[in-house]
Chain A
């Protein structure tokens, strides 16, 4: 298994894709944090003097979580796109081992992404906050959100692996994932919150505790893991068993 993990690791570091995705994630985080501070104004409901706005500001360090999902999706679908899947299955024919190794490596990459991107978001906030009136920085809360983001990104990357294995086509998987995360889920969460909190995105929101009506963090994590396990199990028995021609 360790050889398989090393192999999967090298698959990521030997191309420049991770670089591109990291830059995009940094950009998304900056787009979330910078306006939240610079446009915060004073003494109104959007002011950072309001503690709930501060909580939203810190939740913004995890706004690039979708990039972790994409990281996982590309790790699997890229193999089908470039037909490297042929050699991957020749060297390791057991599909469960293949998915497990990919998931393990992508979890680490998701965590690294969160450490880099979340750290960047926190630094950005600390540098910019003195320009605006704000309520005090609750170090404990910030550390909690940072830790939660690391776990969330790791789980999202693993979920991406499962989704990629299930769909196989890179374009379709990315379109489906982005439409789901950016359109479908927000709609469901808004109009059917009771259903929404049980969706993958509901599990993700649980991490940042930005609204009182969510699942506890541990349940959100289990929910994401549950989706991952179900998708992977189906993929291993169906889409990954298809003929490689």
Chain B
């Protein structure tokens, strides 16, 4: 496993056109191991194309997308390094779930590994359906089978494209906890979604794209800090306002309702208040959820079929 400081996924100046449409436009970002990174943007923002470039399925026009510093297609046994849960991964309708797993195991391990395949199918909740033909599977069952396939190689890097599609709320919660446990083992998790609310609870870092371009990348906490407002009430309102504005915060409102502060974390506001001898009677985050959603929309504004 790579050291925490080294990114396991590097996307650098990635550009890809489909005909006259620019799907990905000079996109650069990094993904760190041991963290769950949300890859966010509206539908049509270029997320799937970026992930498919990363997996060697789509050829970049310019720039590159690499895993552990190498092109996917040059890795010796790539599915042992990277697991992928992609939307358009197909199954043969007349083939059983177990056979789909074993076909994969043959290539990854050089042998059938039937027991490992059965265990994994049981793990994702398809234990009773392993011998059934996939043609009769529901969307959620197909999604679980794709996940089992991705995990088969015990990869250090897991890439998931809209993995919650078709999963019920219990399945989504289960997946969230599972991805967290993988990240805690030091693995790299990159999960795409067009819904910020969906990954809000479960990601450490975010990469936000829109129209193929990077809008924001960093820790989720920093994003909240930059977007959400904090309410602070103090008898020394003007004194505090001056101190906060000096720290380049965006300050609105007045006593006795308190000040609405943006651009500083609660800790920083508390620190400024203490430094200027202002008494603090109330200090709380103002509906961060709504603010974050508003920020996300602002960042990805103007995209067509969001």
Residues of A that sit less than 8 Å from B by CB: 2-4, 6-7, 10-11, 14-17, 78, 82-87, 89-94, 241, 243-245
Contacts and interface: CB of A to CB of B under 8 A. Distances in A.
B92 A15 contact: yes
A92 B110 CA distance: 12
Given A83-B90, A86-B90, A92-B107, 20 more contacts: A2-B110, A3-B111, A6-B111, A7-B103, A10-B112, A11-B92, A11-B103, A14-B99, A15-B92, A15-B94, A82-B91, A82-B93, A83-B89, A85-B90, A90-B78, A91-B104, A91-B107, A93-B73, A243-B59, A244-B58
Interface string B69-106: 00011010011000010101111111110010011101
Contacts of A244: 52, 57-58
A16 B95 CA distance: 9
A28 B50 CA distance: 49
Residue from B72, B78, B103, B108 with most neighbouring chain A CB atoms (10 Å): B103
Nearest to B112: A6
Nearest to B16: A243
B52 A243 contact: yes
Interface string B103-147: 110111111100000000000000000000000000000000000
Contact of B57 (A7, A14, A86): A86
A17 B93 CA distance: 12
Contacts of B103: 7, 10-11, 14
Contacts of A92: 107
Contacts of A17: 94
A10 B94 contact: no
Contact of A82 (B59, B90, B99, B108): B90
A244 B56 CA distance: 9
19 contacts: A3-B106, A6-B111, A7-B103, A14-B102, A15-B95, A78-B92, A83-B90, A84-B90, A86-B88, A87-B90, A87-B104, A90-B78, A90-B79, A91-B104, A94-B73, A241-B59, A243-B52, A245-B49, A245-B58
Given A91-B79, A241-B59, A7 B89 contact: no
B107 A7 contact: yes
B149 interface: yes
Interface in B28-69: 48-49, 52, 55-59
A160 to B, nearest CB: 18
Residue from A3, A11, A89 with most neighbouring chain B CB atoms (10 Å): A3
The 10 closest A-B pairs by CB, nearest first: A83-B90, A7-B106, A3-B110, A14-B99, A93-B73, A244-B57, A91-B107, A15-B94, A6-B106, A243-B58
Interface residues of B, number: 36
A20 B9 CA distance: 46
A87 B59 CA distance: 16
A10 B106 contact: yes
Residue from A3, A4, A91 with most neighbouring chain B CB atoms (10 Å): A91
A16 B94 contact: yes
B161 to A, nearest CB: 11
Nearest to B82: A90
B72 A93 contact: yes
A189 B128 CA distance: 56
Contacts of B72: 93
B104 A245 contact: no
B94 A4 contact: no
A89 B56 CA distance: 8
Contacts of B88: 83, 86, 245
Given A14-B95, A93-B72, A3 B59 contact: no
A6 B99 CA distance: 12
Contacts of A93: 56, 72-73, 75, 78
A84 B92 contact: yes
Residue from A10, A90, A243 with most neighbouring chain B CB atoms (10 Å): A90
Contacts of A86: 57, 86, 88-90
Contacts of B149: 87
A14 to B, nearest CB: 4
A3 B96 CA distance: 19
Nearest to A3: B110
Contacts of B94: 15-17
Contact of A90 (B57, B92, B93): B57
Contacts of A91: 78-79, 104, 107-108
Given A84-B91, A243-B59, A4 B99 contact: no
Contacts of A15: 92, 94-95
A177 to B, nearest CB: 21
A86 B116 CA distance: 22
Contacts of B109: 3
A89 B58 CA distance: 11
Contacts of B89: 83, 86-87
A8 to B, nearest CB: 8
A79 B35 CA distance: 34
Contacts of B96: 14
Nearest to A4: B107
